[in-house]
Every structure is written in structure tokens, then in C-alpha cells.
A and B are shown apart, each in its own frame.
Chain A
Amino acid sequence: MWSFSNIANNLHKWLSETFNPTMTLIIEMVLAGVAVIGLFAALGLVLVIMERKVSAWMQIRLGPNRVGPKGMLQSLADTLKLLVKEGLTPNGADKLLFNLAPFVAMIVAMLLMAPIAFAKDFQLWDLNIGVLYVSAISSIMVISILMAGWASNNKYSLMGAMRSGAQIVSYELSAGLSILAVVVMTGSLQVSDIIHSQADGWWIFKGHIPMVVAFITFIIAVTAETNRAPFDLAEAESELTAGFHTEYSGMKFALFFLAEYVNVFIVCAIGATLFLGGWMPFHIGNWTQFNHVMDYIPSSIWFFGKTFFLIFVIMWFRWTFPRLRIDQLLNLEWKYLLPISMINLLIVTAMAILKWHF
């Protein structure tokens, strides 16, 4: 059966036969790097056109429909336009930080792709602290936003950056706590272990209500962490024009823009991995026939299907909800989400000890 792992294994076999082990490793690293950059660009383009189509569908209009079949090449055309645009650096800006910030955002988004299992046995780096690595690297995101806001020498940018700093730091707590719920159940931080523990059922089904609570908390927290509406206070175009990237233009702006979408993809991929079984097919108890049919669907389709479903949910939020105010945003985290996820973690821990899950 066609699968990503077959391709990777065959490639590895061919490379090891042709080159010596050191050369093989170097070539494989280069290939992985190119693949990540390619995936970064491709995901950005796909998600931008997806967002525009989803929003058009919700807003009873057609959306882009001129470039390419059904407008599918619109985001490619936009990227080309941004590539040839001049990247202005405003007077009085801190030039080094100003120019560095978009690259930090991009690098963070790329680093986060390492531990994601895109298909069965197809993963860049299955490190034993995978989930911890994701939470750690994603905290660096806020630095790029603060850098951009501070270095722009613009009051709107600064306010957007400060809002974003407060927001991301707060929401990381409940995102982390809801991730911990799964880690407690699995007993491992390794992504492949977490996925294999869901072979007989996804955590959202196996873990009773506490896991559903953890999943909902996770979705809310990551929506806030990626600065998506209704938590897009860092950008808040009706208050702060464009927030932290007000002064950015050309490709520097595009990097922020793409990094935002790739981050959305990554958090949804993490959510799908932790709660919805990653690339694991959907199985129902003893229905052997049904389970067999589900197994025939390639694992990459399962993974991307779940991830894009979560992405759609997050887009749905964006196009239906109004934006929160900064104090309401922090209230929601510190007064509701954090206590709920803490208590929830206690319940999950008790469940894990007493083996109350399916």
C-alpha cells in the first residue's frame, strides 16, 4: 500500500547503498530541511486560500475565483506580489530587531514541525520529550511578536505586542495543562507513544468527560496562543490598525502572515495527535468489518483530515465571533480556564491511577 513511510524507507535504503553513512545522514538532513521549508510554504498557501474560501462561504459570497481553477492560485499570486514588494524599514526603528523578528517567527513555525507524525512511521524527529519540546518552542513565538512590536517604533505596534505578550504567556498555561492531561494518561511525552496508546480508541472517547473538557480547553487556549479571532487582540484591526505588524510590508509581512497560518496548522496537528489519535484510523469496538474498511484509508489522510477539521473549527470561530476585550481575555484565562484545567488535571490523574478509562 502506498504510504509516506514506504517512500522514506526506500529513499533511506537507496541513499545508504549509494553513499557512506555520514554522507547519507547529511543528505537526509538537507532533504528534511528542504521538505520543511516546502511544507511551510505549501501549508501557508493552502491555508490562506482555505480561509478565504471558508470565509466567503460563511459570508454568502464567492471568494477569490479569478486566478487559476476556482481561484485556487490566488494565494500564490499574492505571495509573488509580496515577494517583489519593497520591505520598508521605518525611520527610528531598531533595524536589527525589526528585520530579525519575521525570521524568528518563521523559524519557530518550522522547528515546531519536527515532532509531528504526518503519517504512520513518518516523522522527522521522534524525540522522547516531543510534547514538551512543542510547548517549549511555541513559547518562543511571543518573542518574535514582542521584537516586532518594540522595534517598529510605532505605538500601535507596541500596544499590540504588549497585548500579545500578556495573552500568549497566560494561555500557554491552560494549553500546557490540557496537554498534560493526555501525558498523564499515556505516561509518555513521546509523540509516537501517545499515538500508539490510542490504537484501541482516541483519547477524547476513552477518557470520559475530563478528556473532552481538556480538549475544549486546549482548542480555546491554542486559538488564543496563535492570535486568532476571537482572541486576535494583537492585531485587532479596528483598534490597532494591524497591531504588531503595522509597519511591516512585502515579504517580511508575508513571513508573519505565513507563520501565523503554519502555527494554526501545527497546533491543530498537535490537537489531532493528542486527542484524536493522530494518524490512527477510527475504530469502533468489535465491528471488525468496519474497522477493516477504516484501516484501508491511508494514515496520512487520517492525520490531515483530522487536522484540517480542527483548522476549519478555528476558522469558524474567526468568522462568527466578535473580538474579546483585553481584560475579558485575561479574566477568561485566569478565572475560568486555568482553574478548570487544574481541577480537570487532578481528575484525569485520579482516573489514570485508578485505571478508570476504557
Chain B
Amino acid sequence: MFEEVGTTTEGDIIINVGPQHPATHGVLHLVITLNGETIKKVEPHLGYIHRSIEKMCESLSYRQFIYVTSRMDYLSSHINNHACALCVEKGLQVEVPPRAQVIRVLMDELTRIASHELWWGAMAMDLGAFTPFFHAFRERESINDIMEETCGARLTMNYMVPGGVMQDLHPNFQKKVKEFMQLYKRKIHEYDELVTGNIIFQNRMKNVGYLSAEDAVSYGCSGPAARGSGVSCDIRKIYPYEIYDKLEFDEVLETGGDSFARYMVRIREMQQSIRIIEQLIDNIPEGDFQAKTKAVLKLPKGEFYTRVETARGELGVYIVSEGGTTPYRIKFRSPGFSNLSVLDHIARGSKLGDLVAMMGTLDLVIPDIDR
């Protein structure tokens, strides 16, 4: 099987999808070997948007390097910042005030919803339906407005700092979030009517891009891509950080392993995020939003690792400190990279039109793959 579809013979067409192509959201370059319409091999070529973020972080202080990470997975910048802040706090042994913890979780979950909304629209657009994209942006826009009020930014938030969050919540925050949740609940049925229940959509997604649980583990998949294959890997559940262990929410698992299962995981995850926000929005404790930390942070000599669940999967931050004010070496384990590596495996033997659907369900954000 592997040799049969994986080898290039005469008469095969080799096409370059990207780095400028409407199917790849960003500058991903795929070299695809085709036999007619059937895919024989997919070879991702990376490096078009490599900014050497890890190297840059080595010359930045522990307060500064967090801001660079917003540019990695720009759709879940809060969660990237959160992971870095957690890692620095682990080194500093700082206790984060309860108010800051709740704010962080709220922001993370709002980010997750916003990210999944964008994914939903882009995914439908990959399949040739334009309208869902605009419907998704309608809800995402109100999340962006909430973020803008509190953080001052709409995409690269830079809100999480070591020891808490940068500033207190905007007075309108609770009201706006409640309004958003009402809007979301009123509109969520449109998602099912427009896309999920559509017969063409289901035919395009079901039994396509099958990823078994074993393969998901061996390729290092995480996040919704792995949970669609039934692999329990939600970091919020298995290695809880902040207050996630005190919250009531379910880890979304689907056993189908195909594109539709991965799709459903994200759709259901949005509802779980809503559930988390509902528990927290009226229970934000009073108190400090930031722990007292020194002006110049120095991590003790040693190695520190934290992991969080971003909208795409597991993000690991690994800091090696020599005891100075800047990290000696920093390494990010980004979810997109390992999720991309599985693309060749699941795409072989399927049709060209399905490749974009599979890329959609893997939810690839190119700057996250190519740091």
C-alpha cells in the first residue's frame, strides 16, 4: 500500500500548491504528486514565514519574550502568552492571584471560541461555500470587540504577563460577554443549518482523511485533530493548569477519525467553552489582577516546561535558564507542526478536492508551524 501509492511513476502530475494559493491560508507550500485526481504524495515545504522566533526570544528579557509569541499562532495569541507566562511563573515560583487566574481562563476560552469560529468559516470556504465565512465573522467580531476593550488589541493581545494579567478588566467586560453569549446561542443553529446538516458537506467530510488513534499518537497529533480519532489529550483535563481542575466541562471526544469527526470536535468544543465562561463570568473574584514581581525577572538556573491547550492542540514552552535575565534557550512545541506532518499520511489515495478539506480539519495556522 505504502509503496503503491507513494512512488512517482511516469505520467504523474506534480503540482505546487502554494506558497501563494487560495487553499493554503498562509504561505504553506505543498508539492503534490497526482495521478489524475488521486493524490499519491503530499510534501509540505516550510520556511516561507520563518522569523526565528525562538532565537529572538533568547535576546529578550522574560517580560519581553512573551510579546513575540503572539505572532506564532495569531488566532490564539492569548493562549500562547498564557503558556509563556505560566513557564516563567514556574521558574519564579510566583503564586498568581485568583482574580488573574479567572481572567486568564476567561480570555483563553473566548480566544478558543474566536479561533474555532474563524476555522469554521475558513473550512467552509475551502469546500467552496463562501457565506459561512461571513456568518462566522459576525460572532467573532463581538469577541474581538470584547478583547479590544480590555487588552487594547484585537489580534496580538499581549495581555498575559508573568504574575497575572497586564491590567484589570474593562468595566463593560461582564456585560459584553453576556451579550456575546446570548448572540451566540441565538445564532448557533445557523451553523448546523448552513453547514453541518448539509448533505453535500457531510458527503465531503465523512469517510475522508481517516486517521486512526494509533497514527494520531505516533505522529504526535494533539488537540481536536487527535481527539477526533478518540485520543484523550486535552491538557486542560490531564495536566490541569490555573483553575481548570475546579471547572465543570467535558473533554470532547469523537471516535470517527475522519474529517467529519474532527469537525464535530471543534463544533462541540465551542459549546464547552461557552459552558466554562458561563461558570466563571458571574464569579470573578475580587482582588489583585497581578502578583507582585520584581522589575527585572531572573529565573533560577534550570529547565522549565509547561504545556497548555491552545485552540489547535498542545503548546509546550521549554525554557533553559542559566540564571540570567534572558533565557539561554527557548523551544516551543507547536501543535500545528505535528498536525501538519500527518497530512501526507491521511491524504494519500484521496482526491485533490479532499486535500483542502483535510487541511481545513487539521486547522493549520502557518506562522505557528513555521516559527
Q: Give A residues with C-beta under 8 Å from B.
A: 55, 58-61, 155-156, 159, 163, 229-230, 232-233, 236-239, 241, 319-328
Contacts and interface: CB of A to CB of B under 8 A. Distances in A.
5 contacts: A59-B135, A325-B204, A326-B351, A327-B351, A328-B204
B195 A322 contact: yes
B129 A233 contact: no
Which of B37, B194, B355 has its CB near the most chain A CB atoms (within 10 A)? B37
A59 B137 CA distance: 10
B353 to A, nearest CB: 4
Given A322-B200, A323-B128, A239 B356 contact: yes
B204 A324 contact: yes
Contacts of A233: 353
Contacts of A61: 134
Contact of A319 (B15, B22, B131): B131
B115 to A, nearest CB: 20
B352 A320 contact: no
Contacts of A321: 128-129, 198, 200
A215 to B, nearest CB: 20
| 3 tightest A-B CB contacts, nearest first | A323-B128, A322-B127, A59-B134
B353 A236 contact: yes
Contacts of B353: 233, 236, 239, 323, 325-326
Interface residues of B, number: 31
A326 B127 contact: no
B16 to A, nearest CB: 9
Interface of B: 13, 15, 21-23, 37, 124-131, 133-135, 138, 194-195, 198, 200-201, 203-204, 351-356
Contacts of A319: 129-131
B41 to A, nearest CB: 15
Nearest to A154: B15
B256 to A, nearest CB: 18
B128 A229 contact: yes
A298 to B, nearest CB: 35
A319 B131 CA distance: 6
B241 to A, nearest CB: 37
A239 B352 contact: yes
Contacts of A156: 15
A159 B35 CA distance: 11
B134 A60 contact: yes
A232 B353 CA distance: 12
B131 A320 contact: yes
B203 to A, nearest CB: 6
A163 B354 CA distance: 15
Nearest to B203: A328
A154 to B, nearest CB: 10
A230 B204 CA distance: 12
A239 B135 CA distance: 23
A238 B134 contact: no
A60 B138 contact: yes
A328 B201 CA distance: 11
A324 B131 contact: no
A239 B15 contact: no
B199 to A, nearest CB: 9
A237 B22 CA distance: 7
Contacts of A232: 128
A264 B356 CA distance: 28
B131 A322 contact: no
B201 A326 contact: no
Contacts of A159: 13, 37, 352
A15 B138 CA distance: 60
A320 B129 contact: yes
